[in-house]
Chain A
Amino acid sequence: MWEFLAAIFDTSDWPARWRCGEWTTLHGWIHIGSDFAIFLAYAAIPLVLIYFLLKRRDLPFVPIFWLFVLFIAFCGLVHLVEATIFYKPWYRLSGAVKLLTAVTSWVTVVALWKVAPSVLSLPGLARVNNQLEREVEVRRQMEERFRRVFEAAPNAMIMVDRQGSMVLVNSEAERVFGYSRSELVGRPVELLVPERFRGDHPSNRASFFAQPETRAMGAGRDLYGLRKDGTEVPLEIGLNPIETGSGPMVLASVIDITGRKEAEEAMRRTARELARSNQDLEQFAYVASHDLQAPLRQVVSFCQLLERRYGDSLDANARSYLEHAVRGSRRMQSMIQDLLSYSRAGRGDEPAEELDARTACQRALEALEEPVRESGAQVRIQEDLPRVRAVPGALEQVFQNLLANALKFRHPGRRPEVEVGASRNGSEWVFSIRDNGIGIDPRHAERIFGMFQRLHGLDRYSGTGIGLAMVKKVVDRHGGRVWVESEPDRGSTFFFTMQQAVPQETV
C-alpha cells in the first residue's frame, strides 16, 4: 500500500513542466494561476452544496447532490494537480485523479439520466403557489358552505366547547331563544337551560365529552329551553360530537316542538271527544233498548187487552184501528232493535284476525237454513275463498245479510241461484254475491245502503231496510268498499272488498 502510494507520487520519470518545452513566465503563470483559481472555486462549490444539504433536510434527490459534490471536488483536484505539476511532475498522480474524475463524472451523468423524468415532473414554484391558492380557495368555499348550511338549517344550531361556552350559533337559534348572536357567543350554554335542569347540565356535558357519540338528548324526557323573556319552549335536541382545530366540540341541533306539542294536545282532545261521543252512543243504545221499548210494549199490550176485554162492544172499524196501533208499535219495536244492532255492528273495539272467508260464508248460510229450504235456492260458494283480515263475526254478518238479501229479493218466476266468489285486486280481495233475483234499478244503487231505505212496499217485502246499511258499516269499518251492479229483472251482484291476510313473518 505504502509502496503503491509512493509509486503514485513518484516524480523521477519526468521533468517538471517548467522544464518541458519553452515556457515564458507569463504563459506558465497563466496556467498555474488559472488552475489554482479553478481549484479554489471547485473546492468552494461542494462545500456550499454540503452546507445546503445539511441545512435543507427536505431536499429531493440527495444522492445526486452527493454525486455532484464528489464530481466537482474531483474536478477541482484535477486542476490543483495540473498547477503543481509545473514544479512536481507527478503524472501518475495526475492520471489517477483524472481517472477517478472521469468515473465520477460518468456515474453522475448516468444518475442524472435516470432521475431526469422525476426531476422533470417536479412542480415549479409558480405551480406550487397556484395549487396552494386553489386549495385555500376550496377550503374557503367549504367553510362558506358549512357556514351557509349551518345558518340556513331549519333547526337551531349551537356549537359548544368542552367548557360549555357557545362558540357558534345560527339565526334559528336566535329566533328560538330570543337572543341576538352577540348575546350568546362566548356565554355558557346553561344560559338557555331552565333553572330546574341547570344543576345537572355541566355533569351531563362532561359525560358526553367522555363518550362522544351522536345521540338524542334526554331520551324519553320532555326537554325545555329557556328563552330570553323567561318563558320556556319545548325542544327536541340532537347532539353531535365534532372534532375542530380548537379541540372537541358538541354541535347541538335543536328543534322547537311547540307546534308538535300543540298538535298532540289537539289530537288528545279529539280522542277524548271521540271517546265521549262513543260513550254517548253506548248510552243511547242502552236507552233505546230499555226505555224506548217499555212504553211501546205497554201500547201493544193494552191495545190487545182492550180488544180482548171489550172487543165485543167495538165495531169492525174500532177493531181495525186497534190492529193498526199494534202493528205500528211492533214495527217501531223492530226498527229500534235494528237500530241497536246497527249501532253495535262493526264497533271496531275488537281486533281484526286472519279469518277463512269460506268458513264465515258457510256459517252465514247455515244460519239461513230456513229461507234457503223454503225458497229451494241453490247456493254455490267458490271452493277457494281466501283468508282475510277481519273482526271475528263481522265477515259472517256481512255474508249473512247479503245472502239473506239475495234469497229475499228472488224472482217469482224462477228458482233462486246464488253464487259467492272472490278475486284478488292488489292487496285486497273483491268478494261477489251474485243472484238471479229481481234486480235493482241502477238509480237506487247508492240509496239501498242507507239506513231504513226500502225500495218496495211492506206488502211485498217485509223488513226495516237495515241489512245493507249494516253491511256498509261493517265493510267501511274494515277499510273496504261495497257496491252493487245490477240489471233489473235479471239479477244483482253485490261486491265488497277486504284486506288480504298479511302473512305473519315472525311471532
Chain B
Amino acid sequence: MSTKHRIMLVEDHPADALLVREALEGSPSVDSLEVSMDGTSALALLKQRAARGEELPDLVLLDLRLPGISGQELLAALKQDSSLRRIPVIILTTSASEEDVRRAYELHANSYLQKPMDLDAFTGLMHSVEDFWLEQATLPPGGSH
C-alpha cells in the first residue's frame, strides 16, 4: 500500500516550480506539493506549524539561490531546529559548483541534485526522487501523525 506524502518546494522561479509540479502530477505517492517562493516565508511557515503541532512536510526540495535568506541559510536553520531537523532536505539547484555541493553536505543536506537541462531528464530525476524518498526510504514519523 502506498502512503500519500506532502512535499514542500522552496523555489523562486515559477517556471521551475511548474516543471516540478508537471513531473509529480498524478503521482500515487504525492498527496500535496506546496510551493514557497522564498526562504524567509518558508522558514516562518515551518516554524509556525511545528509550534502549533500542525502537520509538517515529509520532504523539502530546496533551491539554493533564493531571494531573502539563501537556500544555505534556510538549510542551516532547519537543521538547527530540533523540531524540523529530521525532515529530509533535498537540494535541487542549477549550480554544479563544488563549493556549493560541499557546503550543502556540511550543513547536513540529505542529498544534492543538479537540475538537468533536458525535460525528460528533469522529469526522470523527479520520478527517482519520488521513488527513492517516498517509496523506498523509511521516513521519520510526521510531527502530527
Contacts and interface: CB of A to CB of B under 8 A. Distances in A.
A pairs with B:
yes
B103 interface: no
B63 to A, nearest CB: 9
Nearest to B95: A290
A294 interface: yes
A293 B93 CA distance: 10
Given A301-B19, A302-B15, A305-B22, A290 B118 contact: no
Interface residues of B, number: 19
A300 B117 contact: yes
B121 to A, nearest CB: 9
A279 interface: no
B120 interface: yes
Nearest to B19: A301
Nearest to B119: A304
A297 B115 contact: yes
B110 interface: no
A297 B117 contact: yes
Contacts of A319: none
A97 interface: no
Nearest to B22: A305
A296 interface: yes
Contacts, number: 51
Nearest to B116: A297
A294 B13 contact: yes
Contacts of A290: 64-65, 93-95, 97
A289 B95 contact: yes
A308 interface: yes
Q: Which of A300, A329, A337 is most buried by chain B, counting CB atoms within 10 A of its CB? A: A300
A137 to B, nearest CB: 80
A297 B97 CA distance: 17
B139 interface: no
A141 interface: no
B112 interface: no
B62 to A, nearest CB: 14
Interface in B1-34: 13, 15-16, 19, 22
A65 B98 CA distance: 108
B15 A298 contact: yes
A290 to B, nearest CB: 5
B95 A296 contact: no
Interface string A97-110: 00000000000000
Interface in A378-414: none
A128 B90 CA distance: 107
Given A286-B97, A290-B65, A293-B94, A298 B13 contact: yes
Contacts of A205: none
Contact of A294 (B16, B22, B119): B16
A477 interface: no
B94 A300 contact: no
A298 B16 CA distance: 7
B133 interface: no
A289 B94 contact: yes
Interface string B40-68: 00000000000000000000000011000
A297 B15 CA distance: 10
B118 A304 contact: yes
Interface in A318-348: 329-330, 333, 337
Contacts of A297: 16, 94, 115-117, 122
A300 B93 CA distance: 16
B60 to A, nearest CB: 19
A329 B117 CA distance: 9
B96 interface: yes
A291 interface: yes
B65 A301 contact: no
Contacts of A302: 15
Nearest to B120: A304
Nearest to A329: B117
A158 B91 CA distance: 72
Nearest to B121: A301
A329 B118 CA distance: 11
A279 to B, nearest CB: 14
Contacts of B22: 305
A308 B119 contact: yes
Given A286-B97, A300-B118, A301-B122, A291 B16 contact: no
A289 B96 contact: yes
B72 to A, nearest CB: 13
B97 A333 contact: no
24 contacts: A286-B97, A289-B94, A289-B95, A289-B96, A290-B65, A290-B94, A290-B95, A293-B117, A294-B13, A294-B16, A297-B16, A297-B94, A297-B115, A297-B117, A298-B13, A298-B15, A300-B117, A301-B19, A301-B118, A302-B15, A304-B118, A304-B120, A330-B117, A333-B117
Given A290-B65, A297-B115, A301-B19, 11 more contacts: A286-B97, A289-B97, A293-B117, A294-B65, A297-B94, A298-B15, A300-B118, A301-B15, A304-B118, A305-B119, A308-B119
Interface of A: 286, 289-291, 293-294, 296-298, 300-302, 304-305, 308, 329-330, 333, 337
